[in-house]
Amino acid sequence: MNNYRRVYNSIFNNADTVSSINAQVQADLQALILGDLRFILPSNVAFRERFEDPIEFKLPFSTIMPETNRTIDEYGMGYNLGYAKRDTDFNTIHRAESFFKILDDYIYLKMNPEYNMNRLDISRKENFKETQDPTAESQLYNCKLLLNNFGQYAQTVIQNPVFFNPPIGKLDKLSFQWYDITGQLIDNAECEWSGAVQVVERMDVATADSTDGGRAVLPGQI
């Protein structure tokens, strides 16, 4: 209670100063909005009592659409973000109807964890309760497969080469598991796929002109 009384008395005794400061801040904000920001912010913002409130906006995906894109489904940026081919209403937030282009653009392949074949680092969705930065996981997957349009083959793979040092003694079994971007195992029972794995063994062999008569086996690569 003593702390409360001290704070209250301090504010009460300086009420005129606090009021003067608040009035000056409001005037400066209004001058900024009517001055430097008059061509950026809507005109009605200048007459609001609470300047910190969010500003309503709209997404004119239909109005700004080129004439050549009006008859196609993949009409532009709005389509890739999951929005329909129409302008939105004014609001402080706009939710897309579909996120399929964002969620299903790629999948991950995991191979033989026992041989440490998964050297691809990935990032995860931000956990804003802990940090503003995206989280990440190291050496989780072997590669990332970029998906194609429906009915077409997907052949673009992003991966890091895997070197075995020292070389593995025997490789008689390969396992393949596909995961979506959320880390869920994909059941591909109804989707056939094929792939090629290249295993390279590099060796240094002494020649007749070499002064070193030894022979060294370098790490293999997959």
121: tokens are 């680092």
State the pTM of this model.
0.44
- pLDDT value, residue 87: 93
Q: At what angle do helices 2-13 and 15-34 cross, to 10 degrees?
A: 60
- Token look-up 């409130």 returns 53
User: What is the Cα–Cα distance from 38 to 34, expressed in whole angstroms?
Assistant: 5
80: tokens are 């890739």
SS3 for 80? helix
- Tens of pLDDT, residue by residue over 87-136, are 999 998 998 876 555 545 788 999 998 888 898 888 776 676 777 776 77
- pLDDT value, residue 88: 92
Which of the residues in the chain have pLDDT under 50? 103, 216-218
**Close Cβ partners of 85 (under 8 Å, ≥ 6 residues apart):** 61, 62, 65, 70, 75, 78, 79
- pLDDT value, residue 216: 47
